[in-house]
Amino acid sequence: MKHPLSYAHYPAVVSVSEARARGASDYDIRSGRGFPPATWGIRFDNSVSTEFPVPIWADEAWIAEAKLLIAIAHRHPGVVACRETAARLYGWPLPHSVGRDILHLGTSDTNKRIRRRGITLHRMRMLRSIEWLKLPVLSPLQVFSQLASVCSVESLVKIGDAAIGDWKSPPQFALATLVAHISETKHLRAKPKLEAAVDLIREGVDSPMETDLRLWAVSRNLPEPAVHPAVYCPTIDRTLHPDLGYPREKLALEYEGDHHRTSEYQWAADIDRVNALRAAGWTVIRVTKSTNRHQLERDIRQHLGQQ
């Protein structure tokens, strides 16, 4: 699936000497008039802009981080976004405990130093960079490996489901490729944690909430539900794919986010969908963030004949 993009006009990035060559006075440089500071020694030229692709889900914080990365890369060629910064640029669902006040950069230059507040430089023996939306970013597989130092197994699974899925950004890698990377790469930090996460990553997941629900079921010693099982519904002559399900017992679990409630169209479509599944002989349990999980567990066990 090709994801739609919007476009933003980023101001040109110039050094202080380049700004002076463009007619900026010392006062312009000090005050930031027309040439606001990006980072030490680097200015933005608001009179000149370049069009950059931006994901439609990107917010102002995403754009600000992208602009800062471009400015830093202009002053320090060869650096790339890595760790949490790269994960945010990829659109991966980082846990709320991970802050965004640090710009994480990677370099293969062992002598490189960037001593600036808000920037952490990671020197890497093996650095594989890509261009992501015209931004220099560490390869997705390496970024995923790095996140083991700041994420739990559950968070890594959520990120992995997103990275191989198609719910926000295009897939960054295939599950088989990730498995090979983790198993074949030597000296990975927290490798047991990465291996545990990879064992729980599944293809075709649409959202982090689906991952949460699936992992919750596993944590309660329930059978792992299938992701998007195929259900032919004769009343509408279509095959539907509930979020999660137990095909043998014909039990579907549907996670309902707030947009299911606030959108009149989505609400009506959900009703038609549930009716079609039930007419096909399936039981549908609808789940929200406020669902009582103890009751949910009892309902699932009863339907699976585990009580």
Spell out, as residue ranges, where the chain has pLDDT lower than 70: 1-2, 258-263, 307
Q: What is the pLDDT of residue 261?
A: 55
Q: Of 141, 175, 200, which residue is a domain's last?
A: 200
Beta strands, E only, the chain: 5-15, 37-39, 42-55, 80-81, 103-107, 119-123, 129-132, 135-138, 226-227, 231-233, 238-240, 244-246, 251-255, 283-287
Q: What is the pLDDT of residue 307?
A: 66
Q: Looking at the domain assignment, is residue 146 inside a domain?
A: yes
Q: Looking at the domain assignment, is residue 150 inside a domain?
A: yes
Whether residue 196 sits in one domain with residue 105 = yes
Whether residue 193 sits in one domain with residue 279 = no
Q: What is the pLDDT of residue 49?
A: 87
Q: Looking at the domain assignment, is residue 14 inside a domain?
A: no
Whether residue 260 sits in one domain with residue 241 = yes
Q: What is the pLDDT of residue 268?
A: 83
Whether residue 177 sits in one domain with residue 67 = yes
Whether residue 61 sits in one domain with residue 194 = yes
Q: Looking at the domain assignment, is residue 155 inside a domain?
A: yes
Whether residue 249 sits in one domain with residue 155 = no
Q: What is the pLDDT of residue 295?
A: 96
Q: Looking at the domain assignment, is residue 148 inside a domain?
A: yes
Please state, in angstroms and rounded to a whole number, the distance separating the CA atoms of residues 182 and 304.
35
Q: What is the pLDDT of residue 154?
A: 96
Q: Looking at the domain assignment, is residue 38 inside a domain?
A: no
Per residue in 46-76, pLDDT (tens digit) is 888 889 999 999 999 999 999 999 999 988 9
Q: What is the pLDDT of residue 283?
A: 97
CB 100 within 8 A of CB 156: no
For the chain, the domain total comes to 2
CB 274 within 8 A of CB 254: yes
Q: What is the pLDDT of residue 1?
A: 45
Q: Looking at the domain assignment, is residue 27 inside a domain?
A: no
3-state DSSP call for residue 64?
helix
Q: Of 200, 223, 238, which residue is a domain's last?
A: 200
Whether residue 237 sits in one domain with residue 123 = no
Cβ neighbour number for residue 290 with a 10 Å cutoff: 5
**Structural domain boundaries enclosing 93:** 56-200
Q: Which two tokens stand for residue 75?
A: 């002053």
Whether residue 92 sits in one domain with residue 181 = yes
Whether residue 183 sits in one domain with residue 92 = yes
Whether residue 235 sits in one domain with residue 191 = no
Give residues with Cβ within 8 angstroms of 153, minimum separation 6: 193, 196, 197, 200
Q: Of 200, 235, 259, which residue is a domain's last?
A: 200
Whether residue 279 sits in one domain with residue 251 = yes
